[in-house]
């Protein structure tokens, strides 16, 4: 079957170039592969995707940074010995898809060949007792198509049956494939009791408001009755955030939010103060919650700008994970820094229901064929895209 990801040979070349300090584009680390259709083990399901979506984790994978896809899969298998068939001389990328079940492995209950499904990316062993409380606390937990093999960007992909969600009838295939990873992540970060648990009337500051996470953070916060300040880097992204309901949009390139740290990543206290004053002058003197995923360039300011007793919830560090923060602004003003990662099955399912019922809408940037994958990855890495980039695989039988 065809697939997109990386061979061991390409991954080793990328790792070597990284060690030599090369600044590689994501498109240099992804290739078309011809590989066998994966065979199923107990509890697994083979799905033919109709559409899939790009996530930023494929950019990390193709760059082999901070670790290579093979190191990640190795880590998954060392925590999940029964998945040793994931160790191969290729890794298939992709953590979001919607498609049709075409084979069901031994022991799978409640799912049949022909079922139309959305695949969420939380791979976890349900037999681990802690997984019943919160699957993200299980050592078995991994992200499908990032820390595991057999991801979404292929003719066929395989998942555990506990990754399946029924496709809401109201959504097109492209919409159904687009949202699960980022919406579920934003849902846990903002709505769930595992995250910031927003209250109506609060103000939420959303970094990257037009990005894959941001478009959902804005909508979720509005649906929770909050005020939203979104930060973006262009006027077209400002317009999108306004359409999604943001009450105020900052353009970080023109409004003084782009030099919050110096070249070494140290706090620029003068820029922090000016940025905080800018928000106050525009009616947002109080920020209750900050939605963080940028890291090095912004985390220190996010902690500073948040109100006394407020919450900063973070799931990533696109600009760098070694951050200089000034802890005085955290402890002396009793703020909470909450770490968050994807979502449990229940959170992902509830998030999908918010989409199904129309409370939140998918935001599809474009529908592409796979010849566009490298170019789209490069655009995403340069912050030139918005919402979700979708790839069409094949027509579903119902459409043929």
The residues of the shown chain that bind ligand NAP, judged by CB under 6 A, are: 55-57, 181-182, 185, 207-208, 210-214, 231-233, 237, 252, 293-294, 297-298, 315-316, 318-319, 341-342, 380, 383
Give the nearest distance from C-beta 196 to ligand NAP in angstroms. 15
CB 52 within 8 A of CB 2: no
Q: Which is nearer to ligand NAP, 101 or 136 (CB)?
A: 136
Let me know if 256 is exposed, middle or buried by CB neighbors in 10 A (0-12, 13-18, 19+): middle
Q: How far is the CB of 212 from ligand NAP (least distance, A)?
A: 3
Please state the closest distance from residue 376 (CB atom) to ligand NAP, in A: 11
CB of 46 to ligand NAP, least distance (A): 25
The Cα-based distances of 348 to 116, 141, 162, 185 in angstroms read 17, 15, 11, 8
Measured from the CB atom, the residue of 46 and 159 that comes closer to ligand NAP is 159
Q: Dihedral of CA 134/137/138/141: which sign?
A: positive
Q: DSSP per residue over 272-294, as a string?
A: HHHHHHHHHHTT-----EEEE--
What CA–CA distance (Å, rounded) separates 282 from 348?
35
Nearest-approach distance from CB 230 to ligand NAP, in angstroms? 9
Residues 91, 74: Cα–Cα separation, whole Å: 11
Q: Whose Cβ is closer to ligand NAP: residue 89's or residue 384's? A: 384
CB closer to ligand NAP, 133 vs 239:
239
Give whichever of 114 and 320 is closer to ligand NAP, judged by the CB atom. Answer: 320
Q: How far is the CB of 237 from ligand NAP (least distance, A)?
A: 5
Annotate 312-346 with b (16+ C-beta within 10 A) or e (fewer): bbbbbbbbeeebebeeebbeeeebebbebebbbbe
Bridge partner list, 116: 100
Please tell me the distance from the alpha carbon of residue 189 to that of residue 99, in angstroms, as a whole number: 27
Q: Which is it for strands 157-160 and 44-53: parallel, antiparallel or unpaired? A: antiparallel
Cβ atoms of 295 and 323 within 8 Å: the answer is yes
Q: Which is nearer to ligand NAP, 195 or 214 (CB)?
A: 214
Q: Which is nearer to ligand NAP, 80 or 233 (CB)?
A: 233
| CA angle, 204 then 266 then 314, to 5° | 30
Residue closest to ligand NAP (Cβ): 211
Cβ of residue 293: shortest distance to ligand NAP, in angstroms? Answer: 4
């Amino acid at each position: 079957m065809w697939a997109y990801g990386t061979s061991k040979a390409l991954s080793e070349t990328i790792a070597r170039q990284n060690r030599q300090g090369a600044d590689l584009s994501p498109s240099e680390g992804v290739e078309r592969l011809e590989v066998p259709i994966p065979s199923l083990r107990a509890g697994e399901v083979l799905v033919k995707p109709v559409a899939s979506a790009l996530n930023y984790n494929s950019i990390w994978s193709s760059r082999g940074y901070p670790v290579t896809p093979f190191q990640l899969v190795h880590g998954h298998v060392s925590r999940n010995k029964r998945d040793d068939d994931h160790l191969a001389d290729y890794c298939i990328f992709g953590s979001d898809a919607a498609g049709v079940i075409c084979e069901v492995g031994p022991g799978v209950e409640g799912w049949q060949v022909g079922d139309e499904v959305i695949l969420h990316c939380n791979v976890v062993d349900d037999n681990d007792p802690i997984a019943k409380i919160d699957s993200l606390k299980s050592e078995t937990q991994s992200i499908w198509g990032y820390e595991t093999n057999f991801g979404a960007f292929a003719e066929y992909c395989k998942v555990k049956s506990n990754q399946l969600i029924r496709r809401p009838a109201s959504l097109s295939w492209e919409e159904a494939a687009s949202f699960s990873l980022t919406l579920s992540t934003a849902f846990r970060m903002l709505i769930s009791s595992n995250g910031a648990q927003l209250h109506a009337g609060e103000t939420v500051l959303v970094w990257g408001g037009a990005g894959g996470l941001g478009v959902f953070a804005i909508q979720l916060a509005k649906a929770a009755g909050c005020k939203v300040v979104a930060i973006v880097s262009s006027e077209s992204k400002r317009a999108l955030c306004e359409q999604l309901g943001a009450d105020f949009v900052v353009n970080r390139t023109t409004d003084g939010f782009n030099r919050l740290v110096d070249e070494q990543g140290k706090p620029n206290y003068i820029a922090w103060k000016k940025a905080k004053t800018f928000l106050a002058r525009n009616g947002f003197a109080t920020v209750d919650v900050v939605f963080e995923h940028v890291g090095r360039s912004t985390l220190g300011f996010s902690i500073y700008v948040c109100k006394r007793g407020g919450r900063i919830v973070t799931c990533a560090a696109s600009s760098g994970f070694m951050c200089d923060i000034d802890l005085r602004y955290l402890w002396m003003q009793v703020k909470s820094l909450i770490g968050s990662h994807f979502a449990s099955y229940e959170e992902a399912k509830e998030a999908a229901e918010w989409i199904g019922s129309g409370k939140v809408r998918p935001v599809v940037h474009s529908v592409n064929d796979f010849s566009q994958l490298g170019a789209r990855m490069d655009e995403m890495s340069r912050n030139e895209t918005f919402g979700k980039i979708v790839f069409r695989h094949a027509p579903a039988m119902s459409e043929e």
